[in-house]
């Protein structure tokens, strides 16, 4: 288990090197690998650890060095992001009723009802913004499906979020990935991307815990 985690961390921190190796070894099949990684991160709730943001940045940098085609890369990443999110939504929608039909000792029925209310009010914003938040982007469409968010509405903001997410990081890699300062400190740039994208989620979690604690104290 520890060895697997170590390999995942090494892959993420040196994703430019590993992605170049994949391109050299598999050629055009790299596009299929890109699609599968993005699809799994956004489509399967069991793989939220996959490196979407840093993968896009590294892929963009490779596009600038002629290792990959920019337009094909963007199209493949968009397809993986949109299809993955849609599949995740459908899984939540179809499995949700079965999970909560007779109650669940881990998740109460009223929590699902509150989630549904939340998505009716804030769902569109959550679908788009979660694209830029690791872990959250994997679970938001799943919860949206459980909450029975309108499918057409979900798909629209799924597409908008995917376009903003993919273009932001792929084009950032394309325009800045080969600059000397970035190229020489690529691992630090990847760490910076991870920190910037993870921090909002940590702050939101701490804020939620603090608010819950205050509510509990006020009821005592």
First to last CA, the chain: 43
In eight-state DSSP terms, residue 131 is G
Exposure class string for 69-88: b at 16+ Cβ within 10 A, else e: ebeebbebbbbbbbbbbbbb
The Cβ-side half-sphere exposure at 100, using a 13 Å CA radius, reads 17
Lowest mean pLDDT among 110-114, 127-131, 157-161: 110-114
Q: How many CB atoms lie within 10 A of CB 203?
A: 10
Query: In the numeric block, which tokens belong to residue 70?
Result: 């920019």
Strand, coil or helix: 127: helix
Residue 1 DSSP one-character state: -
pLDDT at 159: 96
Q: d(Cα 145, Cα 116) in Å, to the nearest integer?
A: 9
| The model's pTM | 0.80
Between 207 and 70, residue with greater pLDDT: 70
| DSSP SS3 for 220 | coil
**R_g over Cα of the chain:** 19
Q: What percent of the chain has pLDDT over 70?
A: 70
Predicted local distance difference test score (pLDDT) of residue 207:
62
Q: Does 204 score more than 80 pLDDT? A: no
Indicate if the pLDDT at residue 49 is higher than 80: no
Task: Calculate the dihedral angle through the C-alpha atoms of 214, 215, 216, 220, rounding to the nearest 10 degrees.
Answer: 100
pLDDT in tens, 116-137: 565 666 667 888 988 888 777 8
User: What is the spatial distance between Cα 61 and Cα 189, in angstroms, rounded to a whole number?
Assistant: 12
Q: How far, in Å, CA of 156 to CA of 153, rounded?
A: 5
* Identity of the highest mean pLDDT range in 59-63, 115-119, 136-140: 59-63
Instruction: Please tell me the predicted confidence (pLDDT) of residue 64.
Output: 93
Looking at the chain, the whole-number percentage of residues with pLDDT higher than 90 is 34
Q: 166 or 126: which carries more pLDDT confidence?
A: 166
Indicate if the pLDDT at residue 102 is higher than 70: no
Q: How many CA atoms lie within 13 A of 19 on its CB side?
A: 27
Average pLDDT over residues 146-157: 89
Residue of 179 and 74 predicted with greater confidence: 74
Asked whether the beta carbons of 91 and 206 are under 8 A apart, the reply is: no
Q: How far apart are CA 60 and CA 57, in angstroms?
A: 5
């Amino acid at each position: 288990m520890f060895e697997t985690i170590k390999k995942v961390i090494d892959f993420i921190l040196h994703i430019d090197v590993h992605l170049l190796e994949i391109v050299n070894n598999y050629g055009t099949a790299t596009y299929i690998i890109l699609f599968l990684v993005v699809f799994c991160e956004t489509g399967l709730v069991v793989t939220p650890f996959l490196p979407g943001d840093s993968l896009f940045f590294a892929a963009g940098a490779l596009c600038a060095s002629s290792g990959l085609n920019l337009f094909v890369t963007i199209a493949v990443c968009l397809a993986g992001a949109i299809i993955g999110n849609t599949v995740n939504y459908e899984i939540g929608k179809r499995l949700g009723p079965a999970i909560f039909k007779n109650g669940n000792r881990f998740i109460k029925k009223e929590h699902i009802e509150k989630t549904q209310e939340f998505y009716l009010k804030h769902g569109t914003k959550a679908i788009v913004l979660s694209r830029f938040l690791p872990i959250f982007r994997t679970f938001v469409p799943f919860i949206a499906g459980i909450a029975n968010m309108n499918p057409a509405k979900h798909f629209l903001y799924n597409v908008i979020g995917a376009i903003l997410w993919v273009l932001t990081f792929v084009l950032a890699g394309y325009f800045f990935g080969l600059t000397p300062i970035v190229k020489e400190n690529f691992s630090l740039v990847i760490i910076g991307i991870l920190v910037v994208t993870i921090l909002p989620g940590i702050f939101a979690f701490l804020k939620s815990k603090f608010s819950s604690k205050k509510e509990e104290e006020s009821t005592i």
